[in-house]
Amino acid sequence: MNPNDFTSPTVVPIKTHGKIRVKSRQPGPFLKGPVPMDWIYAAGGLPGQCLHVGIVLWHEVGIAGSRTVKFRPSKASRYGMHRDTSRRALKRLQKAGLINTHIRPGQCLEIEVLNIEKVSGTDTSTGYPVINGPGINPSADPVDVVRTAS
């Protein structure tokens, strides 16, 4: 992390119809909200860098304006993590019911970030958070998202 990322936003005066309005702009990348805290808590309770990958996904959701985004594991290197680490984290996020993955041959991995209603504890057998939400089947096996980049 860079301490300069947490500086106060730049204030830019804008003149509109004789009135001066102040518009605040944050320079550089940002995380567009709202991001559900239960989702963050669930991802943070998973092992490895799941929370980091989750934040990258939410960043992409904010840019795309859609809960379905295209994700390239090599894109994770921009955030300081190895692509294999991001693949493992994606598998864990899917197993926990936080995302769905769609694999189309010859295309980027398509990730759907799911809504969750509530984190209701931890599964003692797997150690994953127990999540209740629409369309979440905790017994479903995750799609294998490990692909080699060609």
At the second CATH level, the architecture of 36-132 is Orthogonal Bundle (1.10)
* pLDDT over 50 at 139, yes or no: no
User: pLDDT tier at 122 (50, 70, 90 boundaries)?
Assistant: low
For 87-114, the pLDDT digits (tens) are 999 999 999 999 999 988 988 899 999 9
Tell me, rounded to whole angstroms, the distance of Cα 119 from its chain centroid: 17
Sort 145 into a burial class: Cβ within 10 Å, 0-12 / 13-18 / 19+: buried
User: How many whole angstroms separate alpha carbon 144 and alpha carbon 115?
Assistant: 21
Output the pLDDT for position 49: 92
* DSSP letter for each residue of the chain: --GGGGSPPEEEEEEETTEEEEEEE--S----S---HHHHHHHHTSSTTHHHHHHHHHHHHHHHTSSEEEE-GGGGGGGT--HHHHHHHHHHHHHTTSEEEE--TTSPEEEEEPP--EEEEE-TTT-PEEEE-TT--TTSPPP-------
Output the pLDDT for position 126: 61
Q: What is the mean pLDDT of the chain?
A: 75
Write the single-letter amino acid at 16: T
Output the pLDDT for position 76: 78
